[in-house]
A and B are shown apart, each in its own frame.
Chain A
Amino acid sequence: MQDAITVSNLSKKFDISKLKKETQFREALVNFAKRAVFRGRDVKEEIWALKNVSFKVEKGEIVGIVGRNGAGKSTLLKILSKITYPTSGRIDIQGRVGSLLEVGTGFHWELSGRENIYLNGSILGMKKKEVKSKLDAIVDFAEVERFLDTPIKYYSSGMRLKLGFSVAAHLDTDVLFVDEVLAVGDVAFQKKCLDTMKDLRNSGRTVIFVSHTMSTVENLCPRVLWFDRGELRQDGRSADVIQHYVSQFGETEPDTKFDLTEVPKRQGTGTIRYTGIEFLTPGGQPKKQIYCGDGLKVRLHYVVNEPISKPEFYFNLKTDTGLRVATFGTALSGHEIRTLFPGTGYIDVDIGLLPLLPDRYYLNLWINTCDLLITEHDTNHDGLENAATIEIKAPDPDRSGNDLEDRWGLSKKGIDKWWGATFVPCKWNFDGLNDTGKSVENA
């Protein structure tokens, strides 16, 4: 069989010291002068997002990639898609390549559905002719006929996701890289998306699929690669690899503490940085299980590198489809923090009650200072995307450990048409029930 993808000794290094410093031209000039005068050596902080990765994928194979956050999955996908470049190593790919790292890349809200289909299609690498011939199918699949000439800013977020997936689903390439972007929208559409993914298996195309959902990976991919801290840890039949992976990390035990010191890609000036985030009970103990309606204390650890006045700490919660659910910020609550001096510290935010539906939520964290008089804009000092995840479980009224996940239904988790947008805590009272305590047969 012909190899569609050959990856040999692929490595990718992120030089954090380089990313942290010199985001301003004047800083670069000052540092250049300093280096010239003092001959000071820069301390290099390097992270290998991928280390000596080699594998081959045969034509027509569907390969899943699993691994924890920061294991190098996304980096690998980005290198394969030519978005970012490897530090060393080599990739050979045979055939036309398409990659879906996000749904609706490049959508412009002012443009109509039709205009966005053409724009998005050509960004994904389709020819105009190709889009034209598939337009009806795309529109049909996305269920947006009536709004085809309406600017998508008037679409619901669900409609935009459907449109994005629909364009992507019609991308006809020999090799396809997919990040976990499928299964968007309402339940009926999710099924359609999964069916499309299943169809890929019979299309003879080569697919690499990154996912967090083990059941989907096991369903779709006969072969799985497990990445751990940038290295290819296991490559084999999906059942074997997933079993190993799950037994190692126990999917049911979510992280309560995230180390943020070694995150390769972050934004901002670096005057102040987040170093960690913890999920605690209101009493300050690590919180292992978080249920809908629970109270939660979030602790944000930081390090100050240079004195900074009036920093504003923020974080938000997003669903895996990118929908922003809530934003928390010291300034949003009306607090003004005075100057912080070099050193470390932490701040806590007590969330009285989490009105979130059972799902996995992703956290973005950032720190700004608002100096409107000087720059017209907020200055960003630190910014982290998807820095931590929070797993919210179905409500458990008596803390008995009864698993109610089945009741909520695995496919219906999170914010959707079916369950609504929020979880509203409530207490049922059965005093007025006219039951006799017996079941029908016994009555």
Chain B
Amino acid sequence: MNGAQRIGKNPAKEYGPLSAKPSIAARFGFVKEVWQYRELFYFFILRDIKVRYKQTVLGALWAVIQPFATMIVFTIFFGKFAKMPSEGVPYPVFSYSALVPWTFFSAAVGSSGNSLIGNSELLTKVYFPRFAIPASAALSGLMDFFIASIILFGIMIYYSIPLSWNLLLWPVLVIPLIILSLGLGMVFSSLNVKYRDIKYTIPFIIQILLFVTPIIYPISILPEKYQRISAINPLTGIIEAFRATVIPDKHIDFVLLSFSIAVSLVIFFLGLAYFRNTEKEFADIV
């Protein structure tokens, strides 16, 4: 019998004893469990992507329109009228290269922040690692990121920007961006279960971040002192690095980037710790 075989192979390991207090082993078991449920992640992400593209009239085009339209508006107002310096490239390239990662970040934080309350039916009816919900919500934006990145390529060719080897770093830089947005997404999503007004603060925080991060403006227009304050925001280093892979004369500031990655990791692990501490209550209060 199939079932009996499984018992022999994996005695109680797939479930393990469950008691009121988590054992040390249970904490390490988390990684293993996430790995066991990797297919669920895949199906959640697939679901989010399929549903989004099926439900909207514009479908996949939406992924392009969002950063592209924002770029046009920024170009008209900040590039043309406000004469914002753009580090030696046309302002559309300058702003779009930051808007692509920014759009991914804001969508990831927004959707993972609201993901738990949006899936309350699942939380109360079936067990799986809760982490799968905010994580898949954040990762499902990768498809949009990919499409928007291809458009960036087109824009660069249009403006005859020489392509450098640095551009190969573009897809790698999305990793710290995911870590950061997932860290924030986990905090917001679990706070959201408990306090329903958090939902209204997420767009507000994202809006503030848009202005304190060098997206519209280059970090170089800030006085030295303010540049250092700006570096506390981990988005600064990551977005600056994204932009440096596109702009020929700009060098990646690896010190700044490493600092931002370190801050992102801290946020991620704090977020994960908070999430893991509160997840037991989700089904009871969601």
Question: Smallest distance from the beta carbon of B134 to chain A beta carbons, Å?
Answer: 16
In contact, A81 and B126 (Cβ under 8 angstroms): yes
Interface locus among B9-17, B77-85, B172-180, B261-269 = B9-17
Question: In this complex, which of B7, B54, B127 has the most chain A Cβ atoms within 10 angstroms of its Cβ?
Answer: B127
Residue ID in chain A nearest B126 by CB atoms: A105
In contact, B47 and A125 (Cβ under 8 angstroms): no
Interface locus among B117-125, B140-148, B234-242, B250-258 = B117-125
A91 with B126, Cβ < 8 A, contacts A22-B195, A85-B280, A205-B3 known: no
Q: How far apart sit A108 and B198, CA to CA, in the bound complex (Å)?
A: 26
Q: How far apart sit A83 and B40, CA to CA, in the bound complex (Å)?
A: 16
Q: How far apart sit A27 and B44, CA to CA, in the bound complex (Å)?
A: 34
Question: Smallest distance from the beta carbon of B284 to chain A beta carbons, Å?
Answer: 6
Judge whether B228 is part of the interface by a CB distance below 8 angstroms: no
Residues 110 to 151 of chain A near chain B (Cβ within 8 Å): 110-111, 115, 118-119, 122-125, 127-128, 151
Question: In this complex, which of A79, A81, A82, A151 has the most chain B Cβ atoms within 10 angstroms of its Cβ?
Answer: A82
Question: Smallest distance from the beta carbon of B46 to chain A beta carbons, Å?
Answer: 8
Judge whether B208 is part of the interface by a CB distance below 8 angstroms: no
Q: How far apart sit A54 and B29, CA to CA, in the bound complex (Å)?
A: 26
Residues 22 to 60 of chain A near chain B (Cβ within 8 Å): 22-26, 28
Which label, helix, strand, loop or mixed, suits the secondary structure of the A interface? loop
Interface residue count on the A side (C-beta < 8 Å): 53
Question: Smallest distance from the beta carbon of A315 to chain B beta carbons, Å?
Answer: 20
Judge whether B161 is part of the interface by a CB distance below 8 angstroms: no
Interface residue count on the B side (C-beta < 8 Å): 45
- Measured between beta carbons, the chain A residues less than 8 angstroms from B285 are 19
In contact, A86 and B19 (Cβ under 8 angstroms): yes
Count CB-based A-B contacts (< 8 Å). Answer: 135
Which label, helix, strand, loop or mixed, suits the secondary structure of the B interface? helix
Instruction: Give 23 A-B contacts (CB < 8 Å), ordered by A residue.
Output: A14-B284, A24-B197, A81-B127, A82-B18, A83-B127, A83-B283, A84-B280, A88-B20, A89-B19, A90-B19, A95-B7, A95-B12, A96-B6, A102-B126, A108-B47, A111-B51, A119-B46, A123-B40, A123-B122, A123-B126, A128-B39, A173-B3, A204-B4
Q: A83-B127, A92-B17, A106-B126 are in contact. List 7 more A-B contacts (CB 8 A).
A: A19-B285, A25-B198, A78-B283, A79-B18, A91-B18, A95-B6, A105-B122
A residues in contact (CB < 8 Å) with B: 14, 19, 22-26, 28, 78-79, 81-97, 99, 101-102, 105-106, 108, 110-111, 115, 118-119, 122-125, 127-128, 151, 172-175, 203-205, 265
B residues in contact (CB < 8 Å) with A: 1-4, 6-7, 10-12, 14-15, 17-20, 39-40, 42-44, 46-47, 50-51, 54-55, 121-128, 191, 194-198, 201, 280, 283-285
Nearest 9 CB-CB pairings of A with B? A25-B195, A82-B127, A90-B19, A85-B280, A84-B283, A174-B3, A91-B18, A24-B197, A122-B43
